Amino acid sequence: MSNSEILVKAENVSKKFCRSLKKSLWYGMKDIGAELVGQNRQRKLRTEEFWAVTNVSFELSRGECIGLIGRNGAGKSTLLKMLNGLIKPDKGRITVRGRVGALIELGAGFNPILTGRENIYINAAVLGIRKQEVDKKLDPIIEFAEIGDFINTPVQYYSSGMRVRLGFAVAAQLEPDVLFIDEVLAVGDLGFKIKCLNAVNELMRNSAVIFVSHSMQFISWLCTKVMVLNAGKVEFSGNDVPAGIDYYYTRFERPDQTVSGSDKAVISDVQVFSGQRRASAGEMLLLNYGDDLSIQMGLSLDSLVSQPAIRIVIWDQELRPVVDCFSPFSGFEINPKSSSRIKLHLINLQLNMGVYSIAIVVVDLSNNCGEVLSRIDHAAHFQVKTTYTSWAPVLLRGEWKAEEC
DSSP secondary structure letters along 55-112: EEEEEEETT-EEEEEESTTSSHHHHHHHHTTSS--SEEEEEE-S-EEEE-STTTT--T
pLDDT tens per residue across span 28-70: 777 777 777 766 665 678 878 888 999 999 999 999 999 999 9
* Angle CA 6–8–11, to nearest 5: 105
DSSP letter for 115, please: B
Average pLDDT over residues 6-16: 93
Domain 258-385 in the same topology as domain 6-249: no
Tell me the pLDDT of the chain averaged across its residues: 86
pLDDT tens per residue across span 154-165: 988 888 778 878
Helix (H, G, I), strand (E, B), or coil: what is residue 245?
helix
Distance between CA atoms of 180 and 65, rounded to whole angstroms? Answer: 10
CA distances (Å), 47 to each of 34, 87, 175, in order? Answer: 18, 21, 44
Say what the pLDDT of residue 162 is.
83
Say what the pLDDT of residue 230 is.
93
Ranges 15-19, 159-163, 217-221, 295-299, most confident: 295-299
> For residue 99, what pLDDT band results from cuts at 50, 70 and 90?
confident
pLDDT tens per residue across span 192-202: 778 888 888 88
Q: Write down the pTM of the prediction.
A: 0.77
Average pLDDT over residues 76-98: 90
Number of CB atoms found within 10 A of residue 276's CB: 5
Residue 312 has pLDDT above 80, yes or no: yes
Query: Domain spans of the chain?
Result: 6-249, 258-385
Distance of CA 134 to the CA centre of its chain: 33
The answer to whether residues 32 and 41 touch, using CB atoms and an 8 Å cutoff, is no
Residue 360 has pLDDT above 60, yes or no: yes
Residue 85 has pLDDT above 90, yes or no: no
Say what the pLDDT of residue 186 is.
61
Residue 120 has pLDDT above 70, yes or no: yes
Say what the pLDDT of residue 133 is.
84
- Candidates 322, 320, 268; CA nearest to 296 is 268
Say what the pLDDT of residue 109 is.
66
pLDDT tens per residue across span 322-354: 999 999 999 999 988 778 899 999 999 999 888
Which fold would CATH assign to domain 6-249? Rossmann fold (3.40.50)
Distance between CA atoms of 210 and 207, rounded to whole angstroms? Answer: 10
Residue 313 phi/psi, 5-degree rounding, is -120, 135
> For residue 273, what pLDDT band results from cuts at 50, 70 and 90?
very high
> For residue 73, what pLDDT band results from cuts at 50, 70 and 90?
confident
Distance between CA atoms of 277 and 273, rounded to whole angstroms? Answer: 5
Say which CATH architecture domain 258-385 belongs to.
Distorted Sandwich (2.70)
Tell me how long the chain is: 405
**Which pairing describes strands 371-385 and 354-364: parallel, antiparallel, or unpaired?**
antiparallel
Torsion 195-197-199-202 (CA) sign: negative
Ranges 15-29, 265-279, 380-394, most confident: 265-279
